[in-house]
Chain A
Amino acid sequence: MAPRYARVMAMAFAAFLAASIAMAADEMVQIKGSDTLINMVQRLAEVYMEKRPSTAIAVTGGGSGTGIAALINRKCDIANASRTIKPKEVMDANSKGVDPKRIVVAIDALSIVTNTSNPVKKLTIAQIGKIYKGEITNWKEVGGNDARIALYGRQSNSGTYDFMKEVVMEGEYSPSLKSMNGNAQIVEAIKQDATGIGYVGVGYARDAAGSVNVVKVAKDHSAGYFGPFNVADVKSGRYPITRPLNQYVNGAPSGAAKRFLMFELSDEGQSIVEKEGFFPVPDEYRKYNESTLGSSLGFPADNPESRDPNEGAG
């Protein structure tokens, strides 16, 4: 009886192995990191894979910190990050022989969302910071109802968590922050919680615009209040909470990873970025990207039929 069990098991095992090898793609790009970027990069990857089926791109989330940690631990090719890499992470990376290089793929206008029933429709940066630091705890302090503010944020592996802390709050979070797994969960929570406040990438805010209230934000109380959806307001910085969305690679990109990055930054790629609700890369970052990639972004999107002669390692 035992050998028969074993034989059946071994055969099934072999069959599955054979099947897996048959279905494996030639080239593989592992992308990991920010939840804010995941929808957009996933979409970019799908369009790209249709054009070039021999490349398999796996996009996974987990947060910017997770992505950068994976890059440092050599567990992915591209790390998505909604913040810039920290000096400590660069040190960690260098000590392991990893040299992180940054590409900017899109611009985000970080959106502050509240429940539709909340009368507070606009806030200043300082107010938002105080709310998340726990210095303002009641909505009536910012002109709303007499109700305790429920803070929704992200877990500490999130780039958005860090970005809020470093740039908007300039201080540590109140311990009563509820740490959510991702943007979508924050939106879900805010839909239900009349006293909640949350922050999400503009792509998510756009998707949820009807069911949550997207707060207008002012740099300070003397400046005007602006929403995150208007390109002009975001480009000019009138909407005050914007940030580049980054991808980090180890050393100068090459091969399949480079081809995918070039596609993302092409006109077609950037139009997908806009379709997903984010803003395209402005000129100053285009130059920066070109120097990192070591290629001009002037030519049209990479054609699967004719390989680009500029590519160093194929």
Chain B
Amino acid sequence: MARHAHKEKLIHGLFLLNGLLVVFLLAGIFAVLVKTSIPAFREIPLGQFLFSSVWNPTATFTKPSYGILAMLVSTFMVSVGALAIAIPIGVGAAAYLSDVANRHVREIAKPIVEILAGIPSVVIGFLGIVLVGPMIARIFGLPNGLNALNGAILLAVMALPTIVSLSEDALKSVPRSFQEASLALGATHWQTLVKVKIPAALSGIIAACMLGMGRAVGETMTVLMATGCSIKMPASFLDSVQTMTATIAIELGEVPYNTTHYYALFGIGLVLFIITFFVNMASDIILHKYQRVMK
């Protein structure tokens, strides 16, 4: 009997360890990023790193400069642009699926949107080059369409499934009584949707959008392939940009291990980690608050 109990305890312990693994993993990722970027900050003033827009680690005629501001701006331009496109379409599609569509339409449309989520980002990036790029070039009369707008459109496509399915969940969990009360008071279906259901589901929708934002900030291949890669501070959506993720992807393969440039790239990774961490946390908190309210 005692042996049994011991064995049970051991197994419990093993599973606990396995459960703790994810905590160690998250902490480990953070620790590795911090530890590997510390040597960079011994040489690069933090002010320059965050607030200079000149990224030129290989300069020979001037001092090498490690400013990530232009990349930071590029990342936000592309992600915010993506959300500006994806939120109205995504929330609209979610509202349609939850409130307007009949069962048949819903059963066809939902899986289609989910399939969209399964397309690898490198394929989306490829289409940015062969499809969206030439289209943008033609519309705006540009020599090439590899710019922030292209990245924003592609990221919008990638953010759509998240926004649609989570917003739909949020709309669905609005109590029926809300809707019935509104309709009973003589409001139309549309008025009920816009004035009652969407406001009631708003925090869920916001959480969905923030999750989409987190994905967009961290997406690499799509922006690497479709935004043209220019490290200059962008002036408009038609400028080529280079995001933080793209910079890491391009430059990590080219630097010898354990040089300032190498450490600085991990510094960018750390900034990315922190941004996405807080965006995801915020989304989580909003979602939880909302679930509590709904209960």
Q: Do chains A and B touch in the complex (CB under 8 A)?
A: yes
Chain A interface residues (CB < 8 Å from chain B): 62-63, 65-66, 68-69, 72-73, 89, 92, 150, 155-157, 162, 165-166, 170-172, 175-181, 189, 192-196
A195 to chain B: which residues have CB within 8 Å? 143
Q: Are A155 and B144 in contact (CB under 8 A)?
A: no
Q: CB of B177 within 8 A of chain A?
A: no
Report how far A176 CA is from B232 CA in the complex, Å.
6
Q: CB of B251 within 8 A of chain A?
A: yes
Interface centre among A72, A176, A180, A193, by most chain B C-beta atoms within 10 angstroms, is A176
Closest-CB distance, A200 to chain B (whole angstroms): 17
Q: CB of B123 within 8 A of chain A?
A: no
Q: CB of B90 within 8 A of chain A?
A: no
> Beyond A165-B61, A193-B143, is A175–B232 a contact (Cβ under 8 Å)?
yes
B 130-171 binary contact with A (CB < 8 Å = 1; else 0): 000000010000011000000000000000000000000000
Q: Are A150 and B143 in contact (CB under 8 A)?
A: yes
B229 to chain A: which residues have CB within 8 Å? 155, 178-181
Q: Which residue of chain B lies nearest to A98 when distances are taken between CB atoms in the complex?
A: B256
Q: Are B61 and A170 in contact (CB under 8 A)?
A: yes
Report how far A162 CA is from B59 CA in the complex, Å.
9
Chain B interface residues (CB < 8 Å from chain A): 54, 56-62, 137, 143-144, 228-233, 240, 242, 250-251, 253-257, 259
Partner among B56, B143, B251, B259 whose Cβ is within 8 Å of the Cβ of A157: B251
15 pairs, A vs B, C-beta closer than 8 Å: A62-B253, A63-B254, A66-B254, A69-B255, A73-B256, A92-B256, A155-B250, A156-B251, A171-B61, A176-B230, A176-B232, A179-B242, A189-B143, A192-B137, A196-B143
Q: For chain A, what secondary structure do more than half of its interface residues adopt (helix, strand, loop), or is it mixed?
A: mixed
Report how far A72 CA is from B257 CA in the complex, Å.
9
Number of A-B contacts (CB under 8 A): 72
Known contacts A65-B254, A69-B256, A179-B231; can you find 4 more A-B pairs with CB under 8 A?
A: A73-B257, A150-B143, A177-B230, A179-B242
B251 to chain A: which residues have CB within 8 Å? 155-157
Report how far A28 CA is from B219 CA in the complex, Å.
35
Partner among A62, A172, A189 whose Cβ is within 8 Å of the Cβ of B254: A62
Report how far A63 CA is from B250 CA in the complex, Å.
11
Closest-CB distance, A193 to chain B (whole angstroms): 3
Q: Which residue of chain A lies nearest to B255 when distances are taken between CB atoms in the complex?
A: A69
> Beyond A172-B61, A178-B230, is A192–B54 a contact (Cβ under 8 Å)?
no
B60 to chain A: which residues have CB within 8 Å? 162, 165-166
Q: Which residue of chain A lies nearest to B57 when distances are taken between CB atoms in the complex?
A: A156
Q: Are B228 and A157 in contact (CB under 8 A)?
A: no
A172 to chain B: which residues have CB within 8 Å? 56, 59, 61-62
B250 to chain A: which residues have CB within 8 Å? 155, 157
Closest-CB distance, A86 to chain B (whole angstroms): 8
